[in-house]
C-alpha cells in the first residue's frame, strides 16, 4: 500500500481529509535542469531566519541534489541538500557541515522540512536546526555547529555574484547545478525569526500524522510564500508568484505547464481533499509513483518525479508505490519509445511476484504486450491491437466486482476485459520484452488531467480515494511498552487500549 511511514504516522491515509489545503506541487525533472531564483534585498536579519517546505523525492541515490542554497565562491557553499547516500546535509562552508544519520530514500512520501538559522545563539546546537515532520533531527554523523558564526549566512544576503536557488544549488551568477528530482510544495521563508515547526504544521488528533497548517505571522523583508498554484504560465508572476504580500516573486526556469506528459504543475499534494469525476488532475492527495525501493524489481531508471521509466532488456520491470486488494482504479501509461519501442510491456503483478528469466515466463503477471498479445501467469494468447511510441494505454482495474478484471485501452479503445487470476495484492508495473534493449514510458496516475476520461466509477491512484481504515491511529490498537521483569505479574495501564 502507499504508506509513506514516519514516526508520526501515515502521510495520506484516507478518511483524514484535510481542512487546510495545498492545491498544487511543482515537479522538478532533474534532466531538464529546473530551478527557481530571485535576488535578495538587505535582510531583516542575516543571523536569524526560518525555511519551511514540503518535498517528495523522485530519483534517489543519484548524487547530491539541492533543496535550496547558493555558492558564495569557490571556498564557501551554503545549502541544504540530499547526498548520494540519501543523507541530508546542511553545508555552511566547504569544511563546516551538518550531515544526518537518517536517510531520505522514500520517493512515495511527502516530507516536511523546517530549517532554522539562528547563528547568534549562545547555544551551539541551536544555531542551525533541522526538523522533519515536526521532529527535530538530533542524530548527526557530522555536526560542526559549534564553529558557526554570524558571518556564515550566505543565503539571506544581497550577494548577487551567485544565484539564490530553490530546487538546485547555484554555482555562478547565472547558472545552477545539483538539480533536485521530485516535487516541492508550500514553501515559506521567514526573514528575521527563528520559528518552530508548529507554525507550519500540526499533529492530527485522530491519526497522529504530521500535517500542514496555515502560517500566520509576518515575513520580514526577504520573506516569501510559494504556493505554485497559478499554472497559467511559467513566469515569476504566475508559477513563481510570492503569496506573502511582499512581492518577492521567483523566476521559474525549465518548467512546463503545457498539457500532457511534460506538465510540471501537478495536484500531487501533502493534503487530502476533493472529489474524483474521472477526468484526472482534480482530487488532491499523495499520488502513486514508480519507486526504486519496491521489492522484486530489476534494474532500470525512474525519473521526472517518479513518473518516467526506462526499463532494461531481459524482461526488466519497474513497479509503483501503490498496491491494491480492492477498489476500482484507472491510470494511463504513454509509451514513449526507447531503443526498442516494439517491446512495450504494460500491466499488473502481484506484490510478491519475483522475476525469473523474464516477466513473460513468471507467475503473478498480467501483461499487455506491444505486439497485441496478452500474458497471464506466463501463458500468452492473442488479445488486442499492437501499440507503439506515443500511444496512450489506459488501464481500468476492477477489484470490487464478483469477478476481478482488468481492461486495457489503446487511445481510448477498449481491448477487452481480462479476468484476474494468480494475483491478490495488485501492483501496476511496466517492463521490456527485449532481451537487450530498453523501453520507455511516462505515467499518469491522475496527478494531471488524463488523456481520456476514466470509465464511470473508476478513480485516480491517490490517497484521498483510499477507503478509510478501521483503525486510523495505530497506537490505539497496538503499541510497545518495555519494562524489567521482576518475576511477579505486571499490570500495564499506560496504553491507549486494553
- Alpha-carbon distance of 180 to 479, in angstroms, equals 37
**What would the pLDDT profile of 150-199 be if each residue is shown by its tens digit?**
888 889 988 777 889 999 998 877 889 899 999 999 999 999 999 999 99
Q: 3-state class of 201 per DSSP? A: strand
481 belongs to a structural domain? no
- Alpha-carbon distance of 55 to 36, in angstroms, equals 15
Query: Measuring CA to CA, how many Å separate 332 from each of 50, 188, 230, 394?
Result: 40, 34, 25, 4
Going by C-alpha positions, the residue among 435, 418, 318 that lies closest to residue 368 is: 418
Q: Could you tell me which residues come within 8 angstroms of residue 334 by beta carbon, excluding any fewer than 6 positions away?
A: 261, 390, 391, 392, 393, 441, 442, 443, 444, 451
Q: Tell me 85's DSSP state.
A: T
- 434: pLDDT strictly greater than 90: no
**What would the pLDDT profile of 38-77 be if each residue is shown by its tens digit?**
999 999 999 999 999 999 999 887 889 999 998 766 556 7
How high is the pLDDT of residue 355? 66
- 6: pLDDT strictly greater than 80: no
In this structure, the answer to whether residues 127 and 256 fall within a common structural domain is: yes
For the chain, what is the domain count? 2
283 belongs to a structural domain? no
In this structure, the answer to whether residues 101 and 250 fall within a common structural domain is: yes
- Alpha-carbon distance of 66 to 166, in angstroms, equals 8
In this structure, the answer to whether residues 239 and 314 fall within a common structural domain is: no
Range with top average pLDDT, 1-15, 81-95, 115-129, 479-493:
115-129
β strands within 338-472, DSSP E? 344-350, 365-369, 373-376, 379-382, 392-398, 405-410, 413-419, 426-432, 439-444
How high is the pLDDT of residue 479? 72
In this structure, the answer to whether residues 208 and 346 fall within a common structural domain is: no
Q: Round to the nearest angstrom and report the end-to-end CA distance of the chain.
A: 28
What CATH number did the domain enclosing 115 receive? 2.60.120.200
Q: 3-state class of 478 per DSSP? A: coil
Given 244, 266, 288, which residue is the final one in a domain? Answer: 266
pTM over 0.85: yes
Grid cell digits, residue 458? 473508476
- Alpha-carbon distance of 290 to 311, in angstroms, equals 12
- 11: pLDDT strictly greater than 50: no
431 belongs to a structural domain? yes
- Alpha-carbon distance of 397 to 42, in angstroms, equals 56
Q: How far is CA 375 from the centre of its chain?
A: 31
In this structure, the answer to whether residues 261 and 356 fall within a common structural domain is: no
7 belongs to a structural domain? no
Residue tagged 537487450 (cell numbers): 436
In this structure, the answer to whether residues 224 and 312 fall within a common structural domain is: no
In this structure, the answer to whether residues 415 and 328 fall within a common structural domain is: yes
Select the more confidently predicted residue: 10 or 169: 169
How high is the pLDDT of residue 295? 66
- pLDDT-wise least confident of 17-21, 121-125, 136-140: 17-21
Q: Find out whether 241 and 249 touch, Cβ atoms under 8 Å.
A: yes
Q: Mean pLDDT of all residues in the chain?
A: 89
In this structure, the answer to whether residues 252 and 382 fall within a common structural domain is: no
- pLDDT-wise least confident of 146-155, 225-234, 264-273, 448-457: 146-155
- Alpha-carbon distance of 83 to 230, in angstroms, equals 31
284 belongs to a structural domain? no
**What would the pLDDT profile of 372-395 be if each residue is shown by its tens digit?**
999 999 999 999 999 999 999 999
In this structure, the answer to whether residues 246 and 113 fall within a common structural domain is: yes
In this structure, the answer to whether residues 306 and 241 fall within a common structural domain is: no
- Alpha-carbon distance of 319 to 16, in angstroms, equals 26
271 belongs to a structural domain? no
User: For residue 15, what pLDDT band results from cuts at 50, 70 and 90?
Assistant: very low
294 belongs to a structural domain? no
The parent domain of residue 220 ranges over 19-266
Average pLDDT value for residue range 225-254: 98
List % helix, strand, coil for the chain (3-state, nearest 5).
5, 35, 55
Q: Could you tell me which residues come within 8 angstroms of residue 166 by beta carbon, excluding any fewer than 6 positions away?
A: 35, 36, 37, 53, 67, 68, 184, 187, 226, 250
Grid cell digits, residue 204? 492530527
In this structure, the answer to whether residues 206 and 305 fall within a common structural domain is: no
In this structure, the answer to whether residues 321 and 375 fall within a common structural domain is: yes
Given 241, 266, 291, which residue is the final one in a domain? Answer: 266
What CATH number did the domain enclosing 332 receive? 2.60.120.920
311 belongs to a structural domain? yes
- Alpha-carbon distance of 475 to 50, in angstroms, equals 32
- DSSP labels, 306-324: TTEEEE-TTT-EEEBS--B
Amino acid at each position: 500500500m502507499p504508506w509513506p511511514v514516519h514516526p508520526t504516522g501515515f502521510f495520506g491515509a484516507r478518511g483524514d481529509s484535510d481542512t487546510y489545503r495545498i492545491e498544487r506541487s511543482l515537479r522538478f525533472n532533474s534532466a531538464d535542469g529546473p530551478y527557481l531564483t530571485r535576488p535578495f534585498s538587505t535582510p531583516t536579519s542575516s543571523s536569524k531566519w526560518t525555511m519551511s517546505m514540503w518535498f517528495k523525492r523522485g530519483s534517489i541515490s543519484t548524487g547530491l541534489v539541492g533543496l535550496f542554497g547558493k555558492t558564495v565562491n569557490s571556498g564557501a557553499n551554503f545549502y541544504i541538500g540530499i547526498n548520494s547516500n540519501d543523507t541530508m546535509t546542511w553545508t555552511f562552508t566547504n569544511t563546516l557541515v551538518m550531515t544526518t544519520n537518517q536517510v531520505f530514500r522514500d520517493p512515495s512520501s511527502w516530507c516536511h522540512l523546517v530549517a532554522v538559522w539562528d547563528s547568534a545563539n549562545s547555544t551551539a546546537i541551536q544555531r542551525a536546526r533541522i526538523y522533519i515532520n515536526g521532529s527535530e533531527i538530533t542524530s548527526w554523523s557530522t555536526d560542526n555547529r559549534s564553529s558557526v558564526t554570524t558571518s556564515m549566512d550566505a543565503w539571506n544576503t544581497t550577494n548577487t555574484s551567485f544565484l539564490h536557488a530553490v530546487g538546485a544549488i547555484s554555482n555562478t551568477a547565472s547558472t545552477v547545478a545539483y538539480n533536485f528530482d521530485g516535487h516541492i510544495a508550500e514553501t515559506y521563508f521567514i526573514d528575521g525569526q527563528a520559528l518552530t515547526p508548529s507554525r507550519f504544521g500540526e499533529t492530527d488528533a485522530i491519526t497522529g500524522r504530521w500535517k500542514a497548517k496555515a502560517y500566520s505571522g509576518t515575513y520580514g523583508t526577504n520573506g516569501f510564500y510559494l504556493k505554485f498554484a497559478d499554472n497559467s504560465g511559467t513566469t515569476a508572476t504566475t508559477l513563481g508568484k510570492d503569496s506573502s504580500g511582499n512581492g518577492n516573486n521567483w523566476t521559474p526556469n525549465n518548467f512546463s505547464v503545457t498539457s500532457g506528459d511534460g506538465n510540471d504543475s501537478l495536484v500531487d499534494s501533502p493534503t487530502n481533499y476533493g472529489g474524483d469525476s474521472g477526468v484526472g488532475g482534480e482530487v488532491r492527495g499523495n499520488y502513486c509513483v514508480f519507486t526504486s525501493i519496491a521489492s522484486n524489481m530489476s534494474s532500470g531508471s525512474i525519473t521526472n518525479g517518479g513518473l518516467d521509466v526506462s526499463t532494461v532488456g531481459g524482461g526488466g520491470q519497474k513497479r509503483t508505490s501503490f498496491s491494491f486488494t480492492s477498489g476500482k482504479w484507472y491510470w494511463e501509461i504513454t509509451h514513449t519509445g526507447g531503443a526498442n519501442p516494439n517491446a512495450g510491456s504494460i500491466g499488473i503483478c502481484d506484490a510478491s511476484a519475483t522475476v525469473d528469466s523474464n516477466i513473460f515466463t513468471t507467475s503473478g503477471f498480467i501483461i499487455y504486450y506491444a505486439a497485441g498479445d496478452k500474458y497471464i501467469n506466463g501463458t500468452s494468447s492473442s488479445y488486442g491491437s499492437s501499440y507503439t511510441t506515443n500511444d496512450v494505454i489506459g488501464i481500468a482495474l476492477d477489484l470490487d466486482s464478483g469477478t476481478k478484471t482488468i481492461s486495457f485501452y489503446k487511445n481510448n479503445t477498449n481491448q477487452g476485459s481480462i479476468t484476474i487470476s494468480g494475483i491478490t495484492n495488485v501492483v501496476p508495473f511496466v517492463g521490456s520484452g527485449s532481451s537487450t534493449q530498453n523501453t520507455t514510458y511516462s505515467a499518469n496516475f491522475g496527478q494531471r488531467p488524463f488523456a481520456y476520461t476514466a470509465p464511470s466509477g473508476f478513480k485516480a491512484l491517490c490517497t484521498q480515494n483510499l477507503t478509510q481504515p478501521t483503525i486510523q491511529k495505530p497506537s490505539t490498537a497496538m503499541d510497545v511498552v518495555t519494562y524489567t521483569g521482576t518475576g511477579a505479574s505486571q499490570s500495564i495501564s499506560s496504553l491507549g487500549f486494553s
